[in-house]
């Protein structure tokens, strides 16, 4: 009868009480773990196949799964005769493949409520799909098709020209994009100077052959990583072994990025001047530069707040009363990096703001940093790392970039420890490197009062 | 080694370019245009919002009620008037429409009733001056013979004096005629439907030759197998000279 049945289930119903003392992130004691599960539930599993492909997965028990294919095929691997091919490749992700037509890809993914997107950075190309857990097979098929068996039909590729133009127009709407692209073009002689967007002279001149060649040279197993969130590791390994072993070898190696330190000025009619001043930052000093970035001020933490923790902001606020923004700029690649500061100011006071920001960095280089500031900066960096992994997109990117670059995954505890080990001298040395290094500058806006790089 | 977002902070969205091949807005669209400063630290699902400020809506003021054209005036003052007008127009149209519908339907339905030629045959108009006294004339009416008899005085009084109790179908003469000098009956024998012969038989009326039924001058059955008197149709005298039967 109902009453008696209810009583016998009491022990299961009071599971909160039964869990006394047991961590809530571990499964209940009544559920026995399979002996083959060598790792615990929440670890990131990373395997490197003999072909060089890296498989990484994390079981996050989410009802939605995310799978990404990370390829070392960013725009740094473009050659001078196929500049802009990565932009086309990004747009060509929805075109016909050998196993599925463009229509089938779109309808098939839509039918399960998933989404397919491509993100390209200067180093990597990231193809990611997300869907509900049960529909992984369907979207995986499309993902494999798109990454390994594209057809790049000539008429479909030529139809993308309009999209390229629209992409460029949309990107040109924000001054930040122009400045960042200009900065890279001015700072490097090769590889990293290539733009994420197709240059004007190549719009309409990228053909299907360019795309095929680029894929042949760069989409090899040794340069790819298959990452999944909410996917079983064995399933992912099977897929990697069966389908992603198409091209072996390391492919074309990219040239080492050569920093040259230049200047680029983009005059526009805007009354706001966007300006960025950087020097080269070696990858070995990444952590020190990241701590320095937060020490100086890495952006607003409180909406419409007064940015009291940002040294750059406080310094620049003494130089002008008009609206402005200044934050530290830090970007790192596998063999190089850029560190500096980014300012947005009114045209008349641009020079003052830039010089004030530089003065702040010089102060840090001279050691005028308190221990409290350092702990604050470290805490801010740690929280940013952790918060960026709160979303599935951030998590996928974190796992994927690490798997691709190093073939392993550093847990957040390791990273937190490394951050803690950064000392005041490391930070001061990093600041000194910036102050004394060869600077690159990129500015856009009404540049009447903006100094040249040798004048600041 | 940290992810792009962790390393680059606020400008991370400008260091990568994303293209959504198939986009499910529920999963969030991470584009430069939608990323705000705060979303990097508190990311959540966001869609691309586009503001179409170039859409021109045409001016419809020619077709609008004068009461509500001014956007600064409250429309409550004119609402009752507008409502009454609208309802009146609707009501009147409904009434007219119902009437029209009823007319159309009755016209269609009545087209299935008897046609004019059939109706025309249903009445007969007889000029009485053509029939002399003592004579019986036969007309075709509704497919049946119609007897119109101009009775003499002797016949009238004889029929009126008949004892009703002796009759098979008792009916007094005055119940069978409007004007006693004219008797109008259907010339169909009530036995089996033959046409009786006028001015024949033992009773001075009609005699049916088929089975020998004798009728008197009022059309009542007197002798023979017929059970009922000759049928008297509806008739009226619009004036002294004519009778309209049916």
Domain definitions of chain B by residue range = 124-245
Separation between Cα atoms, residue A69 and residue A298, nearest integer Å: 30
CA A131 to chain centre: 21
- 3-state DSSP assignment of residue A268: coil
Is the four-CA dihedral B174, B179, B180, B186 of positive or negative sign?
Answer: negative
Q: Do B2 and A290 touch (CB under 8 A)?
A: yes
A197 within 8 A of A171, measured Cβ to Cβ? yes
pLDDT by residue (tens digit) across B93-142?
999 999 999 999 999 999 998 888 887 778 888 888 888 888 899 998 88
Residue A422's pLDDT is what?
92
Q: What are phi and psi of A354, to 5 degrees?
A: -65, -45
* CB contacts < 8 A (A, B): 143
The Cα A366–Cα A83 span in angstroms is 43
A293 reaches B (C-beta below 8 A): yes
Higher-confidence residue: B84 or B240? B84
Strands (E), A133-249: 224-229
Check if the beta carbon of residue A311 is closer than 8 Å to that of residue A446: no
Phi, psi of A62 (to 5 degrees): -85, 145
Min distance A250 CA to chain B CA atoms (Å)? 22
Helix axes A424-436, A286-296, angle to 10 degrees: 90
Answer for the pair A183, A442: CB distance below 8 angstroms, yes or no.
yes
Side-chain half-sphere exposure of B10, counting CA atoms within 13 A: 19
Q: How far apart are CA B180 and CA A56, in angstroms?
A: 124
A16 confidence band (pLDDT: 50, 70, 90): low
pLDDT, tens digit, for every residue of B150-170? Answer: 999 988 888 888 888 888 888
Question: Tokens representing A108?
Answer: 């098939």
Nearest C-alpha in A relative to B41: A387
Most confident of A158-167, B54-63, B171-180: A158-167
Look up the pTM and report it.
Answer: 0.64
Nearest Cα residue to B204 out of B191, B224, B220, B180: B220
What pLDDT score was predicted for residue B46?
53
CA A387 to centroid of chain Cα atoms = 14
Residue A117 near chain B (CB below 8 Å): yes
> In this predicted structure, what is the pLDDT of residue A429?
92
Sign of the alpha-carbon dihedral angle for A15, A16, A17, A22:
positive
pLDDT digits (tens, 9 = 90+) for B39-62: 344 444 456 666 777 788 888 889
For A139, A400, B22, the CA distances from B28, given in Å and listed in that order, are: 18, 19, 12
In chain A, positions 8-37, which contact chain B (CB-CB < 8 Å)?
A: none
Q: Is B44 exposed, middle or buried (0-12, 13-18, 19+ CB in 10 A)?
A: exposed
Euclidean distance between CA atoms B78 and B64, whole angstroms: 13
The packing angle between helices A286-296 and A350-365, to 10°, is 120
B195 pLDDT band (50/70/90 cuts)?
very high
Give the separation between CA A313 and CA A316, rounded to whole angstroms: 5
Contact of B5 with chain A, judged by CB distance below 8 Å, is answered with yes
- All residues of chain A having their beta carbon less than 8 Å from the beta carbon of residue B34 are none
B-chain CB neighbours of A120 within 8 Å are 16-18
B211 as an active site residue: the answer is yes
A132 in B contact zone (CB under 8 Å): no
- Which residues lie across from B124 on neighbouring strands? B245
What span, in angstroms and rounded, lies between the C-alpha atoms of A395 and A130?
13
CB contact under 8 A, B20 and A115: yes
Please, what sign has the CA dihedral across residues A159, A165, A203, A214?
negative
Mean pLDDT of A217-242: 92
CA–CA distance, A118 with A105 (Å, rounded to integer): 14
B-facing residues of A in 297-326 (CB < 8 A) are 298-301, 303
Query: Pairing mode, if any, of strands A272-280 and A115-121?
Result: unpaired
Sorted by sequence, the CB contacts under 8 Å of residue A404 that are 6+ apart come out as A54, A70, A71, A72, A124, A223, A224, A225
Which among B150, B172, B191, B211 is annotated as catalytic?
B211
For residue A318 the two structure tokens come to 């003494």
Give A375: exposed, middle or buried? Use CB within 10 Å, 0-12, 13-18, 19+.
exposed
- Is-contact A268 A445, C-beta < 8 A? yes
- Rounded CA-CA distance A256/A76 in Å is 10
B185 near B144, Cβ under 8 Å? no
Q: Which of A299-303, A320-324, B30-34 has the highest mean pLDDT?
A: A320-324
Residue A253 in this model has a pLDDT that exceeds 70: yes
Q: Hey, is the C-beta of B9 within 8 angstroms of any chain A C-beta?
A: yes
Residues of B in contact with A116 (CB under 8 A): 20-22
The position carrying tokens 């990241």 is A290
Which of A116, A293, A303 comes nearest B22 by C-beta?
A116
**In the block, residue with structure tokens 């997300």:** A130
DSSP H or E segment with residue A56: strand A54-58
Cβ-nearest to A387 among B16, B24, B41: B41
Smallest Cβ–Cβ distance between A398 and the set B3, B14, B24 belongs to B3
The residue-averaged pLDDT of A364-386 equals 91
Instruction: Read off the pLDDT band of B37 (50, 70, 90).
Output: very low
* pLDDT, chain B, mean: 84
Burial (CB count within 10 angstroms: exposed 0-12, middle 13-18, buried 19+), residue A439: buried
Alpha-carbon distance A395 to nearest alpha carbon in chain B (angstroms): 8
pLDDT of residue B118: 80
- What value of ipTM does the predicted structure carry? 0.71
pLDDT of residue A30: 60
Question: Which of A130, A286, A342 is facing B27, going by the closest CB pair?
Answer: A130
Q: Locate the DSSP E strands across chain B.
A: 16-22, 124-127, 136-141, 144-150, 182-186, 197-198, 204-208, 213-216, 221-223, 235-239, 242-245
**By 3-state DSSP, what share of chain B in percent is helix, strand and coil, each rounded to 5?**
35, 20, 45
The C-alpha atoms of residue A92 and residue A211 are separated, in whole angstroms, by: 9
User: A63, exposed or middle or buried, with CB in 10 Å at 0-12, 13-18, 19+?
Assistant: exposed
DSSP state for residue A150 in the 8-state scheme = B
> What span, in angstroms and rounded, lies between the C-alpha atoms of A447 and B43?
35
For the structural domain made of B124-245, what CATH number should be given? 2.102.10.10
């Amino acid at each position: 009868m109902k009453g008696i049945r209810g009583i016998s289930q009491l022990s299961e119903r009071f599971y909160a009480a039964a869990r006394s003392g047991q961590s809530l992130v571990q499964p209940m004691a009544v559920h026995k773990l399979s002996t083959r599960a060598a790792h615990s539930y929440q670890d990131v599993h990373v395997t490197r196949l003999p072909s060089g492909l890296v498989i990484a997965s994390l079981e996050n028990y989410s009802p939605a799964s995310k799978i990404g294919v990370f390829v070392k095929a960013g725009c740094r691997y473009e050659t001078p005769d196929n500049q802009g091919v990565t932009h086309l490749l990004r747009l060509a992700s929805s075109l016909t493949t050998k196993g599925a037509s463009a229509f089938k890809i779109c309808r098939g993914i839509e039918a399960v409520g998933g989404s397919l997107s491509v993100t390209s950075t200067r180093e990597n190309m990231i193809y990611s799909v997300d869907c509900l857990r049960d529909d992984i097979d369907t979207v995986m098929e499309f993902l494999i098709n798109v990454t390994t068996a594209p057809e790049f039909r000539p008429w479909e590729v030529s139809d993308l020209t309009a999209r390229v133009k629209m992409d460029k127009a949309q990107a040109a709407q924000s001054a930040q994009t122009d400045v960042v692209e200009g900065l890279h073009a001015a700072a490097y002689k090769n590889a990293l100077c290539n733009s994420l967007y197709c240059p004007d002279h190549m719009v309409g001149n990228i053909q299907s052959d360019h795309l095929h060649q680029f894929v042949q040279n760069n989409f090899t197993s040794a340069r790819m990583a298959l990452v999944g969130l909410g996917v079983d590791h064995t399933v992912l390994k099977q897929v990697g072994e069966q389908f992603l072993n198409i091209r072996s070898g390391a492919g074309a190696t990219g040239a080492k990025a050569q920093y040259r330190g230049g200047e680029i000025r983009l005059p526009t009619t805007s009354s706001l001047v966007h300006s960025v001043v950087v020097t080269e930052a070696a990858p070995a000093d990444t952590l020190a530069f990241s701590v320095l970035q937060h020490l100086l001020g890495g952006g607003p933490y409180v909406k419409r707040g007064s940015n009291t923790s940002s040294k750059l902001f406080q310094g620049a606020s003494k130089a002008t009363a008009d609206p402005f923004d200044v934050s530290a700029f830090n970007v790192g690649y596998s063999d190089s990096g850029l560190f500096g500061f980014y300012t947005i100011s009114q045209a008349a006071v641009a020079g003052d703001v830039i010089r004030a920001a530089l003065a702040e960095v010089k102060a840090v280089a001279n050691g005028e940093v308190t221990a409290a500031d350092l702990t604050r900066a470290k805490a801010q960096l740690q929280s940013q790392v952790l918060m960026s992994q709160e979303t599935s997109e951030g998590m996928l990117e974190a796992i994927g970039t690490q798997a691709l670059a190093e073939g392993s995954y550093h847990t957040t505890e390791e990273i937190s420890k490394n951050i803690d080990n950064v000392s005041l001298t490391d930070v001061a040395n990093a600041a000194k490197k910036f102050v004394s290094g060869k600077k690159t500058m990129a500015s856009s806006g009404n540049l009447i009062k903006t100094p040249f790089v040798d004048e600041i | 080694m940290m992810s792009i977002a962790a390393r680059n902070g606020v400008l991370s969205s400008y260091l990568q370019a994303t293209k959504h091949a198939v986009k499910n807005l529920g999963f969030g669209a991470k584009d430069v245009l939608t990323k705000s400063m705060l979303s990097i630290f508190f990311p959540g699902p966001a869609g691309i919002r586009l503001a179409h400020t170039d859409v021109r809506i045409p001016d419809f003021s020619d077709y609008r009620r004068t009461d509500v054209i001014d956007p600064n005036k409250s429309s409550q003052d004119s609402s009752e008037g507008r409502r009454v007008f609208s309802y009146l127009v609707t009501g009147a149209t409904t009434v007219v429409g119902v009437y029209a519908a009823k007319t159309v339907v009755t016209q269609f339905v009545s087209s299935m009733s008897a046609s004019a030629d059939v109706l025309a045959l249903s009445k007969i108009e007889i000029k009485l001056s053509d029939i002399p006294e003592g004579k019986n004339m036969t007309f075709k009416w509704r497919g049946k013979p119609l007897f119109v008899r101009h009775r003499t005085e002797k016949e009238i009084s004889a029929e009126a004096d008949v004892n009703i109790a002796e009759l098979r179908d008792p009916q007094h003469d005055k119940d069978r005629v409007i004007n006693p000098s004219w008797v109008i009956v259907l010339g169909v024998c009530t036995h089996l439907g033959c046409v009786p012969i006028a001015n024949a038989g033992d009773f001075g009326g009609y005699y049916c030759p088929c089975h020998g039924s004798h009728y008197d001058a009022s059309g009542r059955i007197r002798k023979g197998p017929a059970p009922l008197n000759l049928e008297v149709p509806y008739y009226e005298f619009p004036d002294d000279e004519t009778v309209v039967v049916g």
